C-alpha cells in the first residue's frame, strides 16, 4: 500500500481482513502513529515467512469520515506547500520541495525536499514555519530518486515512471549494465529525470549476464560454418554472435560458433 499517489510502497499485515481488495483505503499502524493509505495490491506471505510476521497491522477499513478528514488535510497540505515554497525562495535556499504532508490525525507536518547542496542550514526556515503552523514541523531531506518518484510523470519510454508506478525499493544501477546490454552511453539515453542512471537498466541485466556466459568474448577468433573470423558483437537475447570474416560480416547462432584456441 502507499500513503501518497506516487509514494513508496509499504507492506502491512492484512491477515485479519480477508475481504480486503485492491484500491481499498485502510488505516494502518506506523512508527509515526496511525496513517490512512490505499491498498495497491494484495499478496500472500512468502513460504519462508509467517504471514504478517514483523509487519505493522492494518487497523481497520477507512470510513467516510476518514476520507473527508483525509481530503481536508490534503487541501491544507497544498496551502502549506505553497507557503513553504514562498518562504524558502525569500530566504534564497537552494532546495526543491516535494510535498508537505500532515499526519492522519493532524498532529504534525512533514516537509520533504531535495537539494544538490550537501550542507544546508534550515533552522531559520524551520523556525519561521514553526511560528505559523500550530503543530510540530519536520523538514526531511530525500534523495533525487525519491523526489522523482513523488513528482510522477512519464519516462522516455512513454510509460508512467517505474518508480512512481510499482517499485517498492530502488536497486543499485551501474554503467556496466548499460555496456553489457549494448545501450548507448550518451547521458541523455541512460539518465532518468532524477539525474541518475535509469532503473530499467537493471531489469534485464541478469538475463544478459546468463546469456553472455554461453558466448565467446568480443575480439576472439572463432570458427563458423562460413569460415574463420573475429567476434565483433554479441546479441545475447537472440543467441547470436556477430563475426567479421575476411570479406564479410555474418550473424551466427552461438551453437554454431567454435572458439579457436590461441
Let me know the angle formed at the C-alpha of 41 by 50 and 177, rounded to the nearest 5 degrees.
90
Q: What's the pLDDT at 262? A: 67
Query: Do 135 and 91 sit in the same domain of this protein?
Result: yes
Q: What's the pLDDT at 47? A: 47
* Summary mean pLDDT of the chain: 91
Q: How many CA atoms lie within 13 A of 88 on its CB side?
A: 22
Query: Do 31 and 94 sit in the same domain of this protein?
Result: no
Pseudo-torsion of CA 5, 7, 9, 15, nearest 10°? -50
What is the mean pLDDT of the segment spanning 158-179?
Answer: 90
Say if CB 80 and CB 133 are below 8 A apart. Answer: yes
Q: How far apart are the first and last CA of the chain?
A: 57
* Separation in Å, CA 222 to CA 100, 229, 251: 61, 6, 13
What is the mean pLDDT of the segment spanning 9-27?
Answer: 92
**Beta-bridge partners for 185:** none
- State how many domains the chain has: 4
Does 166 fall in a domain? no
**pLDDT reading at 21 higher than 80:** yes
Query: Do 221 and 247 sit in the same domain of this protein?
Result: yes
Distance between CA atoms of residues 36 and 30, nearest Å: 10
Say if CB 225 and CB 252 are below 8 A apart. Answer: yes
Sign of CA dihedral 28, 46, 200, 145: positive
pTM (two decimals): 0.76
Give the domain-ending residue among 62, 88, 113.
62
**pLDDT reading at 78 higher than 70:** yes
Structure confidence by residue, pLDDT tens digits, 172-231: 999 999 999 989 999 999 999 899 999 999 999 999 999 999 999 999 999 999 999 999
Q: What's the pLDDT at 32? A: 78
Domain range for 7 is: 1-62
Give the domain-ending residue among 62, 86, 115.
62
Structure confidence by residue, pLDDT tens digits, 225-250: 999 999 999 999 999 999 999 999 99
All three cell numbers of 257: 560458433
Say if CB 110 and CB 100 are below 8 A apart. Answer: yes
Does 242 fall in a domain? yes
Amino acid at each position: 500500500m502507499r500513503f501518497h499517489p506516487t509514494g513508496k510502497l509499504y507492506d502491512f499485515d492484512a491477515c485479519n481482513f480477508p475481504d480486503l481488495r485492491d484500491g481499498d483505503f485502510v488505516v494502518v499502524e506506523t512508527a509515526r502513529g496511525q496513517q490512512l493509505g490505499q491498498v495497491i495490491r494484495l499478496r500472500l506471505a512468502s513460504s519462508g515467512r509467517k504471514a504478517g510476521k514483523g509487519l505493522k497491522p492494518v487497523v481497520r477499513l477507512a470510513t467516510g469520515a476518514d476520507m473527508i478528514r483525509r481530503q481536508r488535510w490534503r487541501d491544507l497540505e497544498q496551502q502549506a506547500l505553497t507557503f513553504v515554497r514562498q518562504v524558502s525562495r525569500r530566504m534564497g535556499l537552494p532546495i526543491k520541495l516535494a510535498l508537505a504532508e500532515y499526519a492522519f490525525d493532524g498532529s504534525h507536518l512533514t516537509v520533504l525536499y531535495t537539494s544538490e547542496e550537501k550542507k544546508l542550514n534550515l533552522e531559520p526556515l524551520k523556525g519561521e514555519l514553526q511560528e505559523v503552523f500550530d503543530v510540530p514541523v519536520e523538514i526531511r531531506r530525500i534523495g533525487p530518486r525519491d523526489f522523482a518518484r513523488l513528482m510522477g510523470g512519464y519516462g522516455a519510454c512513454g510509460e508512467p515512471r517505474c518508480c512512481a508506478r510499482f517499485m517498492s525499493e530502488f536497486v543499485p544501477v551501474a554503467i556496466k549494465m548499460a555496456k553489457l546490454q549494448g545501450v548507448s552511453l550518451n547521458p541523455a539515453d541512460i539518465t532518468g529525470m532524477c539525474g541518475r542512471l535509469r532503473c530499467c537498466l537493471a531489469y534485464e541485466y541478469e538475463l544478459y549476464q546468463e546469456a553472455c556466459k554461453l558466448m565467446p568474448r568480443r575480439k576472439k577468433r572463432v570458427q563458423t560454418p562460413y569460415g574463420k573470423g573475429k567476434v565483433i558483437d554479441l546479441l545475447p537475447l537472440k543467441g547470436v554472435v556477430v563475426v567479421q570474416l575476411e570479406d564479410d560480416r555474418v550473424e551466427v547462432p552461438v551453437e554454431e560458433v567454435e572458439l579457436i584456441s590461441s
